Amino acid sequence: MTLTRTINLRQPDIVQRSNRYLSSGQPIRGVFKGVFTKINGKWSLLVGSIELGGDSAVAGPVQSLEYPEYLFITGIFNRTDIATIISDLEMEGKLPLDEAPLLDVAEHGLNWTETLIPSHAAEGGKPIRRFRADVNRNVYCPDTKLVAHGMKFHFSSFEYIKSFLGLNKFHGSLDGLRGGIFIDVTDHRGRLNFSTTGVSYVKYTAENMCLVGSVDGVDVNKENEKDEFLYGQESVSDIELWLVDKSDSVVDYCSSSEWEFRYGNVNESDEKEKFLKIISRGESEFCEFKEYIELTESKSKKVCEIEKAVCALSNHEGGRLFIGVSDDAEVLGINDGCFRSYKRELKEAIDVYKRDVSKRLQDTLKNNQCFSVSIFEIAGLFIVVVNVQKVDGLNYLRLRNEVYVRRGASSAKMTPPEIQRASSGREILGGNQEWLYPL
> What whole-number distance in Å separates Cα of residue 358 and Cα of residue 112?
27
Confidence of residue 133 (pLDDT cuts 50, 70, 90): confident
> In this model, does residue 303 exceed pLDDT 60?
yes
Q: Residue 300: is its pLDDT beyond 90?
A: no
> Can you tell me the mean pLDDT for 372-401?
88
Q: What is the average per-residue pLDDT within 46-54?
A: 87
Closest CA relative to residue 192, chosen from 247, 250, 249, 238: 250
- What are the residues whose beta carbons fall under 8 Å from the beta carbon of 65, sequence distance 6 or more? 71, 72, 73, 151
* Region class of 3: left (phi > 0), else alpha (psi between -120 and 50), else beta: alpha
Q: pLDDT tens for residues 398-439?
A: 888 899 999 999 999 998 888 887 754 444 444 444 444 332
Q: Is 264 left (phi over 0), alpha (psi -120 to 50) or beta?
A: left
pLDDT for 436 equals: 43
pLDDT band of 275, cuts 50, 70, 90: confident
Please check whether residue 202 is in contact with residue 190, taking contact to mean a CB–CB distance below 8 angstroms. yes
pLDDT of residue 171: 60
Give the span between the Cα atoms of 202 and 207, in whole angstroms: 11
Position 10 pLDDT exceeds 90:
no
Give 365's contacts (C-beta < 8 A, 6+ positions apart): 307, 310, 311, 314, 371, 395, 396, 397, 398
Q: What is the pLDDT of residue 321?
A: 96
- Residue 283: is its pLDDT beyond 90? yes
Q: What are the CA-CA distances from residue 198 to residues 129, 201, 250, 256, 267 (Å)?
A: 25, 10, 20, 16, 20
Query: Across residues 378-391, what is the average pLDDT?
Result: 90
* 140-199 per-position pLDDT tens digit: 788 899 999 999 999 999 899 989 998 876 666 556 677 889 999 999 899 999 988 999
- For residue 72, what are the β-bridge partners? 35, 65
Give this prediction's pTM: 0.68
The one-character DSSP state at 281 is T
pLDDT of residue 52: 87
Lowest mean pLDDT of 19-23, 57-61, 130-134, 405-409, name the range: 57-61
What are the CB-based long-range contacts (under 8 Å, 24+) for 417-426?
Answer: 419/394, 422/393, 422/394, 423/393, 424/7, 424/8, 424/392, 424/393, 424/394, 425/393, 425/394
Alpha helices in 264-327, H assignment, sequence order? 268-280, 305-314
Write out pLDDT tens, residues 313-323.
999 889 999 99
Average pLDDT over residues 231-244: 84
Q: Which of 88-92, 179-183, 225-229, 298-302 has the lowest mean pLDDT?
A: 298-302
Question: Would you list the DSSP string of 151-209?
Answer: S--BS-HHHHHHHHHT-S---GGG-TTTTEEEEEEE--SEEEEE-SSEEEEEESSS--E
CA distances from 148 to 39, 85, 145, 159, 428 (A): 19, 33, 10, 17, 39
Quick one: pLDDT at residue 216?
87
Distance CA 278, CA 328 (A): 13
Given CATH 3.30.950, say whether it is the number of domain 268-428: yes
Helix 335-342 and helix 346-364, axial crossing angle in degrees, nearest 10: 90
Looking at every residue in the chain, the average pLDDT score rounds to: 85
pLDDT per position as a tens digit, 62-103: 899 999 999 999 999 887 788 889 889 988 899 999 899 999
